[in-house]
Amino acid sequence: MKARKTATRRLRAPSLPAAALHRAEQLCTKAGERLTPARINAYAELLTQKNPISAYELLALMEQREGRKLAPLTVYRQLDFLVRVGLVHKLTSAQAYVACEHPDHPHDTLYLVCSSCGKADELESERVAELLSKAARSRGFKPGKAIVEVPGLCQTCRQPPDGADGIGVAGAR
């Protein structure tokens, strides 16, 4: 008793690019995880965003897209999944989420995060990973994926060209 299709109410998914979808499928297969429509939607929505967004911002976007109310938990579960398989990183210092720029292989979370405009620039550094891993193991500590977040001012937000300091970011070296 639920067959009735109530005249599509703006259900268009954000249309995840085929290449991204394919990569995601492979990643999930390899990890023994299931890539469901709901998860695809969440990922696609995140991919439309240029900057990291909070879970509740994603919630609002998805609600608008799907034309119905969603529970926060829904979004959190999908984010947990996306982070788990490595498609998305959590910026813990900003309590925000952003799609990984090279999800093909697992790696640490390593970002430059602009305190002014919110932009997050993902880096990769084998040397940092190596240093941290070595330091950890030398203390008998078994390390997981490191979280490295460098707050500061991006090039654009440094506009005021004279040496003037911008935001109150302490201790720039």
Judged by DSSP in three states, 114 sits in strand
Question: What CA–CA distance (Å, rounded) separates 153 from 115?
Answer: 6
Sign of CA dihedral 116, 55, 89, 98: negative
**Alpha-carbon 9 to chain mean position:** 28
Task: Give Cα separations from 48 to 15, 31, 100, 119 (angstroms).
Answer: 10, 25, 13, 14
Question: Taking CB within 5 to 8 Å according to partner kind, which of a copy of itself, Zn ion, DNA, none is near residue 69?
Answer: DNA
Within residues 58-87, the interface with DNA by CB under 7 A covers 69-74, 76-78, 80-81
Question: Taking CB within 5 to 8 Å according to partner kind, which of DNA, a copy of itself, Zn ion, none is near residue 116?
Answer: Zn ion
Candidate segments 51-59, 118-126, 127-135, 159-167, binder of DNA by CB under 7 A: 51-59
Question: Taking CB within 5 to 8 Å according to partner kind, which of a copy of itself, DNA, Zn ion, none is near residue 30?
Answer: none
Q: Which residues bind a copy of itself (CB under 8 A)?
A: 84, 92-93, 106, 112, 114-115, 121, 123, 125, 127-129, 131-133, 135-136, 139-155, 158, 166-173
Candidate segments 30-38, 119-127, 133-141, 142-150, binder of DNA by CB under 7 A: 30-38
Sign of CA dihedral 83, 88, 90, 95: negative
29-45 in b/e burial notation, b at 16+ Cβ within 10 A?
A: eeeeeebeebbbbbbbb
Near DNA by CB under 7 A: residue from 14, 20, 23, 33 = 33
Question: Taking CB within 5 to 8 Å according to partner kind, which of DNA, Zn ion, a copy of itself, none is near residue 118?
Answer: none
Per CB under 7 A, does 172 bind DNA? no
Task: Summarize the annotated binding site for Zn(2+) as residue ranges.
Answer: 114, 117, 154, 157
